[in-house]
Amino acid sequence: MSSSKIEELKKQRTKQLRKRKNQLPYARVVTVVALLVYIVLINYNLKFSSFWIIGILMGVTMQRARFCFTAGFRDPIMVGSTSLLKAVLLAFMVSTIGFFIIQYHAVLMNPDYLLIDIPGQLKPVGVHTAFGGILFGGGMVIAGGCASGTLMRIGEGYMLQLVVLMGFIVGALIGSWHFPFWDRLLISQAPVIYFPSYFGFFPSLIIQLVSLGSLYFIADWYDKKNNIMKMM
């Protein structure tokens, strides 16, 4: 609830405002175009059509939810609020269960499965993972958006992120150009660690869910603690 002062100010400002443009016609045109592209793609390439529709749905969800990975990892440190971090953790829990179903299903089909046959991206983990994480994290906090956030903000018309997109493209090009060097030096030397091959499928599902759950409670506690501390 807002106070009477704010209510008065709001009323006063609303009167002064010019009437806003109705954006619904644009929305209708864009929706029709998106559906047409979808229909064309279904006939042409089923995979592309799924990417198209999943991408659009993801973008809409992120924009409407004002979801932001950058803020999820930055806000706990900067302002002590963890609501987005908790959302990220919840998303991890949901995707853990989803991947469990997909991978368990794949293994049931083929009992003597190989690590490389598991659906999903299994990559070597090592120093390069941590180093890349630090680079990416620093970059996204300075740029005010990670990859998905940047694209989503350009879509909603926030022009500043276009500059970020240019840097993003240049960086990705340079990255793929000297990737073979790092791959030879570090990445191909590092081991691929896949928990289900050590603990089995069900135990590793439980372990992952329990660790994510405890992180969630720590985040929740941190949020409340910060609340009380700053109340003075």
Contact code string over 17-46 relative to other proteins, x by CB under 8 A = xx-xx-x-----------------------
Question: Among 36, 108, 134, 160, which residue sits at the site for other proteins (rule: CB under 8 A)?
Answer: 160
Q: What is the DSSP string of 113-179?
A: --GGGSSS-----SHHHHHHHHHHHHHHHHHT--HHHHHHHHHHT-THHHHHHHHHHHHHHHHHHSH
State in angstroms the smallest separation of the CB of 54 from other proteins: 23
Rounded CA separation 226/78 (Å): 11
Rg (CA), the chain: 23
Give, in order, the Cα–Cα distances in Å from 44 to each of 38, 39, 41, 48, 80.
Answer: 10, 9, 5, 8, 49
Question: 71 vs 219, which CB is nearer to other proteins?
Answer: 71
**Alpha carbon of residue 94 to chain centroid:** 13
Q: Are 149 and 84 in contact (CB under 8 A)?
A: no
Establish if 144 lies at the interface with other proteins (CB under 8 A): yes
Instruction: Rule CB under 8 A: say whether 68 interacts with other proteins.
Output: yes
Residue 176 near other proteins by CB under 8 A? no
Residue bearing tokens 């500059």? 163
Select the residue interacting with other proteins from 62, 69, 70, 168 (CB under 8 A): 70
47 near other proteins (CB under 8 A): no
Q: By CB under 8 A, which span of 1-9, 51-59, 93-101, 131-139 interacts with other proteins?
A: 1-9
Is position 148 an interface residue for other proteins (rule: CB under 8 A)? Answer: no
- State the minimum distance, in angstroms, from the CB of residue 153 to other proteins: 8
SS (H, E, C) 127-142: HHHHHHHHHHHHHHHH
In this complex, which beta carbon is closest to other proteins, that of residue 3 or of residue 43?
3
Residues near other proteins (CB under 8 A) are: 1-3, 5-7, 9-10, 13-14, 17-18, 20-21, 23, 66, 68, 70-71, 74-75, 78-79, 81, 83, 141, 143-145, 156-158, 160, 227, 230-231
